[in-house]
Amino acid sequence: MQMNTVLAEGLHFRIPWFQYPIIYDIRAKPRKISSLTGSKDLQMVNIALRVLSRPLASNLPTLYQQLGLDYDERVLPSIVNEVLKSVVAKFNASQLITQRAQVSLLIRRELFERAKDFNIILDDVAITELSFSREYTAAVEAKQVAQQEAQRAQFYVEKAKQDQRQKIIQAEGEAEAAKMLGEAVTKNPGYLKLRKIRAAQNIAKTVAQSQNKVYLNADSLVLNLQDRDSFNLLMK
C-alpha cells in the first residue's frame, strides 16, 4: 500500500525506510461463529453460522485505518451476534425449524448490509447448527410421542368401528340369505332336497379325489335316490 493507493499482486518498487507494504489477503475466508440467543417464545437457541468473508479491495486503505489487519476478528462476531438476536427474536422456537429457509434468508440479507458498513463483503452465510435447551428438546420429544400414541389409539378405534360395521353387514346378509332360503323352501319343498343332493355330490366328489380310502354308504351321503322326488330333482 502506497499512501492511499491499492496495488494488486505482482512486482512493485518502494523507497526503503519511507515506503512499506501492508499486505491483505483478499481471498474469501470461512469462519464459524456461534451465538446463544432467545426466540420469540423465550426459548434459548444455540445457533451457529458459517460466514465466507473478504475485504472490499477498493477500500483497503480505509479498512486498514479503521480496523487494521484483523478486521474480521473485530467486526464479524459482533455484527453476527447483533443480527442473530434481531432475527431469531422474530420467530418462535418451532418456527425456527419449520421456517429455517426463511430465517436463513433474513440473516443473510441483514448481515450483508451490516458488513458493507465496514468495507467487508460476505460471499455466503449459512446456518450450520440450530439447537435448543435440553428441557425444550425433551418437551418436544414428549409431545411427538404423545401425538403418535394418540394417532395409534385413533387407528385402533377406527379399525374396531370398521370391524363392527363389517360384522353387522355380514349378519344382515346371512339373515337375508336365511330368509330367502326359508321362502324358497316354503314355496317349493323340493328345493331343500335338491340342496341336500348337491351337497352330497360335492362330498362324494371330494372323497373320490382323495388318496385316502373312505367307505361311506349311500345314506351317509344323503344319496337315497330311491325317493322318486329326489331322483327327479337330481335329473333336472
Going by C-alpha positions, the residue among 109, 72, 76, 77 that lies closest to residue 90 is 109
Separation of alpha carbons 195 and 224, rounded Å: 13
Share above pLDDT 90 across residues of the chain, in percent, rounded to a whole number:
21
Tell me the average pLDDT across 159-187: 77
Class of domain 29-137: alpha beta
The residue extents of the domains of the chain are: 29-137, 189-236
| CB proximity list for 44: less than 8 A, separation 6 or greater | 36, 37, 38, 132, 133, 136
C-alpha cell at 177: 340369505
In this prediction, residue 235 carries a pLDDT of: 46
Convert the pLDDT of each residue in 185-200 to its tens digit: 677 666 666 677 777 7
pTM: 0.54
Mean model confidence pLDDT for the chain: 77
Q: Predicted confidence band at 111 (pLDDT cuts at 50, 70, 90)?
A: very high
Q: Predicted confidence band at 107 (pLDDT cuts at 50, 70, 90)?
A: very high
Convert the pLDDT of each residue in 12-67 to its tens digit: 666 677 666 777 777 888 999 998 888 888 888 889 999 999 998 888 888 888 88
Residues in the chain: 236
CA atoms within 13 A on the CB side of 173: 6
Strand pairing of 44-55 and 29-38? Answer: antiparallel
In this prediction, residue 10 carries a pLDDT of: 61
Contact between 180 and 187 (Cβ < 8 Å):
no
Convert the pLDDT of each residue in 67-97 to its tens digit: 888 888 889 999 999 999 999 999 988 888 8
